[in-house]
């Protein structure tokens, strides 16, 4: 995969996945869970929403550093050859005011059925500023994509 | 499929073909027509699938094939993949229940009778794609356990390099391949042969080829057959072409079949009587009618009856396209005898002739020639180089198969955990390139002990003519002139080499011990273990095989050095011509090829073509926000090393290599391996265990990863990289 292909592959992966694995941490305990995410044209921005009572919200309040794993594995042997996985590494900040509205529009465009959930008063909308993606293809080939 | 995965040939129907394969299905149909076939048992593709699934082999094969896009693999890499897959088969016994079922069926049908174990692949023998000769078969196998072992080896041959290459050629999905196996009672043949129901030259004729004994001798070309042309309509014999003599026949011997002498009384009589020919003619007509087209039929006469061994459609246009490729793939596998002859020619004819050609050319003082003579010398040198380059491709490269042949024999016999263990048994020969590197190391030593001389050379001075350094340096120049051609013109080139030697002298040799070599067995132990696997009366053959493997290993490297010596003389004449051309044209004479140079030298009005060099490839614009972190290739020499990447795009950068660098290059030629002792790791675009870079890396115990297609574009020069020669990974430290 050359460099141009790498970016195209990443974009394709981001556009094809609805859900990723978000990793947060608090007091040295890592914590991973599934979240619905959305990525606008700028791939270095990711949006997700979470209830303010959730453990991940609690973790994010303590430590905004996150990573998010997205992949297209099928849980078959073919994954060794065909699956692509990308890990985004960045910092999550809760969006407020007009920024929250901007994020909600991006999020609703991707997950219209989650619009009510995202707009709920008890839901926090987060924006991750991605420092870099680490993308793995063909089991062992790794590229880093960063602004 | 509802039937068992074990079926008697006599129970097969046409609709079983997808599971039983073309060969078995055709034989069952022939038996149904009332003709003789040898009784047999088919282990269908369902049996193969059960083996694959229950043993975990499917995943292993997928993993081997999935490392890299199959389309991007060079044949050396495919051979490596095939070697590793075969090794998995060798190490993976059939699951016990499967083994038990086959054991019962084999026992019941054959008891202790000798059998033939053959492939019958579903896509084999189809009209459009003939796999004939690509898969293995085993003759004269006795005993249930032995038969089960051979069944596994026939399954393994589905993944041989030849079969893989051929499937790629035909665009078949290799991962979807499956194989059935046919076990048949061995027929002790009086005569055997092939019948083509349509002559390639005349549709109205049939062709019969026949030999005494088993048909393997005819099929692989060892025994020259009698040939008859028959009128297809009347059965009249149009012509009979006996061979020059009939000295040999193939006959069953314990564990196989071998060439043996023919009874002299028989040797004077053709292997077929006219009544046999009539019978074959009838058989041909009948099968052609039933199968609906011309047939290629293997037959044998045993127990006084004509038996059909195999029938398949004659592939239309069998001289074209994929079939030609198939013969090339088959030709990659040279026989032992062929390799022995090739070695003799290379060692006793070609290499002495190359040495002589190089020293004759070296003796002429081309720099002093008149223009016309220099032009003639240039053209002559080009012809000489082209000739040897062709011989290199046609004979030297195929001889590399000696290593492969030895590797397969070694792995089949010893089933080592590491399928490349055999390479440790081959290395250690005194390669030309290692001799050259020792000369360089000795020169560097002189500089290390003589700082004054080192400092003088550093400032551009020449060494005193009568010094040991100057004498040794001249010795190096005479033996390995290509080094000087690579380094540059005249004095400047010498200074480049002095600088390189200075670098060598300042650096302690990199440590070559920490690369996991401690656990490896000594070549002596390996050799003893290998020899012990042969019965005493076969040990001469074992030693010969090892000898061929070693010669192949050594010559693969040395050949290039010899060719390099001739190339150096071509480059030398080119250099002399270019010096005279300088300033003559508005273009750089460096851009002129031999022919243009020769013309320009002798014709004052010559106008060179605009640019005789191929345009440089446009640099791929690297995306600034994407960086390579890790690349996956093939592990080619074990160990782990970290160092700055020295990315070599052409020979110019070679002399700048510093101790501790990781060499990243397109292809390592033995003429440039003088830099290897300075490096801690090697990354190469070309893939495979048998390429020069991998061989030299193992000689020095330097980790090496090969088969990374765009290594020189993806790895930035100077970036610190880690070469993992165990896993075949290159990581760019970020």
Average of per-residue pLDDT values in chain A? 93
- Three-state SS for chain A is CCHHHHHHHHHHHHHHCCEEEEEEEECCEEEEEEEEEECCCCCCEEEEEEECCCHHHHHHHHCCEEEEEEECCCCCCCHHHHCEEEEEEEEEEECCHHHHHHHHHHHHHHCHHHHHHHHCCCEEEEEEEEEEEEEEECCCEEEEECC
Q: In whole angstroms, what is the distance from residue A53 CA to residue B564 CA?
A: 74
Q: Examine the domain organization and report whether B361 and B411 are in the same domain.
A: yes
B709 in a domain, yes or no? yes
As a whole-number percent, the residues of chain B with pLDDT over 70 amount to 89
Chain B closest CA to A28's CA: distance in Å?
A: 24
Q: Is B576 found in the same domain as B653? A: no
CATH of the domain at B297: 3.30.470.20
CB contact under 8 A, B710 and A2: yes
The answer to whether position B549 is within a domain reads yes
**Is B91 inside a domain boundary?**
yes
SS3 assignment, position B55: helix
Least confident of B19-23, B283-287, B372-376, B612-616: B612-616
Least CB–CB distance from A140: residue in B62, B626, B729: B729
Pick the most confident of A42-56, B5-19, B51-65, B659-673.
Answer: A42-56
Domains of chain A (ranges; CATH) run 3-133 (2.30.110.10)
Is the confidence at residue B316, as pLDDT, over 60?
no
Give CA–CA dist B40/B305, Å, rounded: 17
Res. B338: pLDDT tops 90: no
If asked whether residues B375 and B464 sit together in one domain, one would say yes
Domain assignment present for B321: no
Question: Has residue B65 got a pLDDT over 60?
Answer: yes
Indicate if B423 and B537 belong to the same structural domain. yes
Do B37 and B158 lie in a common domain? yes
pLDDT in tens, B628-669: 999 988 888 889 999 999 999 877 778 888 889 999 998 888
Who has greater pLDDT, A107 or B611?
A107
Q: Which residues pair with A29 in a beta bridge?
A: A26
Domain boundary among B281, B314, B347: B314
Same domain, B290 and B375: no
Task: Say if residues B658 and B641 touch (Cβ distance below 8 Å).
Answer: no
In a domain, B198, yes or no: yes
- Under an 8 A CB cutoff, do A3 and B68 touch? no
Mean pLDDT of all residues in B534-552: 89
Same-domain status, B253 and B363: no
Which pLDDT score, from 0 to 100, does residue A2 have?
Answer: 57
Q: How far is B345 from chain A (nearest CA, A)?
A: 44
pLDDT above 50 (res B512): no
Calculate mean pLDDT across residues B570-576: 87
Check pLDDT > 70 for residue A6.
Answer: yes
**Statement to judge: residues B597 and B576 lie in one domain:** yes
Written as six digits, the tokens of B654 are: 């070679």
Is B53 or B132 the better-scoring residue by pLDDT?
B53
- Residue B585: predicted pLDDT: 61
- State which of B582, B602, B622 marks the end of a domain: B602
Whether B169 and B240 share a structural domain: no
Q: Chain A: give the shortest CA distance to residue B71, in Å.
A: 13
As a whole number, the mean pLDDT across chain B is 85
Question: Per CB distance under 8 Å, which residues of B are interface residues toward A?
Answer: 58-59, 62-63, 65-69, 620, 622-623, 625-632, 710, 713, 727-729, 731, 734
Residue B216's pLDDT is 79
- The pLDDT tens digits of the residues spanning B437-475 come to 889 989 999 999 999 999 998 888 889 988 999 999 988
Are residues A146 and B625, on separate chains, in Cβ contact within 8 Å? yes
The set of residues, in sequence order, having a beta carbon less than 8 Å from that of A49 and lying 6+ positions away, is A35, A36, A107, A114, A117, A118, A123, A124, A125, A126
- Of residues B507 and A54, more confidently modeled: A54
- Supply the CATH number for residue B642's domain: 3.50.30.10
Looking at the structure, tell me whether residues B591 and B696 fall in a common domain: no
Which residue range forms the structural domain that includes residue B642?
A: 630-732
Structural domains counted in chain B: 4
Residue B258: predicted pLDDT: 81
Q: What is the model's pLDDT at position B322? A: 43
Which residue, B566, B586, B602, sits at the end of a domain? B602
pLDDT average, residue stretch B152-172? 83
- B71 falls within a domain: yes
Partners of A77 on chain B (C-beta within 8 Å) are 58-59, 62
Do the domain assignments include residue B517?
no
Residues of A near B (CB-CB distance < 8 A)? Answer: 2-4, 6-7, 77-78, 80-81, 134, 138-147
Choose among B63, B69, B629: nearest Cβ to A142: B629
Mean pLDDT confidence for B676-682: 92
Instruction: Note whether residue B559 is domain-resident.
Output: yes
ipTM: 0.83
pLDDT of residue B566: 92
Residues B171 and B62 in one domain: yes
Query: Would you say A23 and A69 are in contact if contact means Cβ atoms under 8 Å apart?
Result: yes
B152-161, B515-524, B608-617: the lowest-pLDDT one: B608-617
Alpha carbon distance B168, B491 (integer Å): 51
Over the stretch B118-145, which tens digit does the pLDDT of each residue have? 988 876 545 445 555 567 788 899 999 9
Nearest by CB to A3, which of B68, B626, B632? B626
Domain CATH for B83: 3.30.1490.20
Residues B448 and B347 both lie in one domain: yes
| Residues of B with Cβ-Cβ distance to A76 under 8 angstroms | none
């Amino acid at each position: 995969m050359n460099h141009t292909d790498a970016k195209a592959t990443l974009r394709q992966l981001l556009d094809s996945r609805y859900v990723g694995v978000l990793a947060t941490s608090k007091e040295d305990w890592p914590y991973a869970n599934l979240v619905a995410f959305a990525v606008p044209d700028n791939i270095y921005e990711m949006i997700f929403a979470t209830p303010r009572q959730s453990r991940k919200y609690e973790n994010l309040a303590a430590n905004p550093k996150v990573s998010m794993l997205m992949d297209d594995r099928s849980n078959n042997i073919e994954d060794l050859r065909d699956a692509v996985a990308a890990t985004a590494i960045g910092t999550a900040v809760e969006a407020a005011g007009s920024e929250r509205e901007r994020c909600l529009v991006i999020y609703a465009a991707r997950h219209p059925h989650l619009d009510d959930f995202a707009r709920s008063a008890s839901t926090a909308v987060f924006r991750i500023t991605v420092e870099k993606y680490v993308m793995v293809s063909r089991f062992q080939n790794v590229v880093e994509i960063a602004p | 499929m509802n039937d068992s995965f074990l079926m008697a040939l006599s129970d097969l129907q046409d609709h079983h073909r997808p599971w039983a394969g073309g060969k078995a299905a055709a034989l069952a149909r022939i038996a149904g027509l009332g003709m003789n076939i040898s009784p047999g048992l088919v282990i269908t593709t369902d049996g193969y699938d059960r083996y694959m699934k229950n043993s975990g082999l499917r995943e292993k094969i997928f993993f081997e094939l999935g490392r890299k896009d199959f389309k991007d693999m060079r044949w050396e890499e495919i051979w490596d993949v095939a070697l590793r897959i075969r090794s998995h088969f060798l190490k993976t016994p059939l699951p016990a229940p499967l083994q038990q079922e086959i054991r019962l069926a084999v026992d019941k049908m054959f008891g202790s009778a000798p059998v033939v174990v053959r492939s019958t692949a579903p896509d084999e023998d189809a009209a459009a794609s003939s796999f004939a000769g690509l898969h293995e078969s085993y003759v004269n196998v006795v005993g249930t356990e032995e038969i089960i072992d051979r069944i596994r080896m026939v399954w393994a041959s589905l993944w041989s390099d030849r079969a893989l290459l051929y499937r790629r050629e035909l665009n078949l999905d290799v991962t979807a391949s499956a194989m059935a196996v046919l076990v048949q009672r061995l027929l002790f043949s009086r005569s055997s042969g092939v019948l083509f129901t349509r002559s390639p030259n005349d549709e109205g004729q049939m062709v019969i080829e026949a030999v005494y004994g088993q048909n393997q001798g005819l099929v692989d070309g060892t025994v020259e057959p009698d040939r008859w042309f028959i009128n297809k309509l009347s059965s009249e014999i149009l012509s009979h072409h006996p061979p020059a003599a009939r000295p040999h026949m193939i006959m069953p011997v314990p564990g196989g079949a071998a060439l043996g002498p023919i009874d002299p009384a028989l040797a004077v009589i053709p292997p077929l009587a006219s009544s046999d020919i009539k019978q074959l003619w009838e058989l041909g007509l009948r099968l052609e009618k039933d199968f609906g087209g011309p047939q290629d039929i293997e037959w044998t006469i045993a127990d006084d009856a004509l038996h059909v061994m195999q029938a398949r459609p004659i592939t239309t246009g069998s001289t074209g396209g994929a079939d030609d490729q198939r013969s090339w793939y088959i030709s990659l596998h040279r026989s032992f005898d062929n390799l022995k002859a090739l070695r003799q020619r290379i060692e006793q004819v070609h290499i002495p002739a190359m040495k002589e050609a190089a020293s004759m050319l070296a003796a002429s003082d081309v720099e002093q020639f008149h223009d016309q003579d220099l032009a003639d010398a240039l053209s002559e040198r080009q012809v000489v180089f082209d000739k040897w380059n062709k011989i290199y491709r046609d004979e030297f490269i195929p001889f590399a198969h000696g290593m492969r042949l030895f590797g397969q024999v070694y792995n089949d016999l010893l089933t080592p955990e590491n399928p490349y263990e055999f390479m440790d048994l081959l290395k250690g020969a005194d390669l030309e390139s290692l001799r050259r590197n020792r000369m360089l190391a000795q020169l560097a030593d002189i500089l290390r002990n003589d700082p004054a001389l080192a400092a003088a050379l550093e400032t551009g001075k020449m060494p005193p003519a009568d010094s040991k350094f100057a004498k040794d340096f001249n010795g190096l120049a005479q033996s390995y002139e290509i080094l000087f051609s690579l380094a540059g013109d005249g004095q400047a080139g010498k200074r480049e080499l002095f600088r390189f030697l200075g670098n060598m002298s300042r650096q302690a040799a990199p440590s070559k011990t920490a690369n996991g070599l401690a656990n490896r067995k000594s070549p002596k132990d390996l050799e003893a273990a290998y020899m012990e696997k042969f019965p005493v009366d076969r040990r001469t053959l074992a030693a010969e095989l090892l000898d061929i493997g070693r010669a192949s290993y050594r010559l693969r490297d040395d050949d290039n050095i010899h060719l390099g010596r001739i190339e150096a003389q071509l480059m030398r004449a080119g250099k002399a011509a270019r010096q005279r051309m300088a300033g003559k044209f508005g273009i750089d004479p460096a851009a002129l090829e031999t022919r243009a140079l020769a013309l320009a030298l002798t014709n004052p009005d010559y106008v060179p073509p605009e640019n005789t060099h191929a345009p440089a490839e446009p640099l791929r614009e690297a995306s600034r926000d994407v960086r390579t972190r890790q690349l996956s290739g093939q592990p080619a020499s074990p160990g782990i090393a970290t160092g700055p990447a020295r990315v070599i795009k052409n020979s110019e950068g070679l002399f700048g290599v510093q101790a501790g660098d990781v060499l990243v290059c397109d292809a390592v030629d033995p003429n440039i391996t003088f830099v290897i002792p300075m490096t801690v790791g090697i990354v190469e675009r070309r893939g495979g265990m048998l390429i020069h870079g991998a061989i030299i890396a193992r000689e020095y115990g330097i980790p090496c990863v090969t088969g990374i297609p765009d290594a020189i574009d993806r790895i930035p020069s100077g970036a610190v990289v880690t070469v993992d020669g165990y896993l075949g990974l290159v990581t760019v430290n970020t």
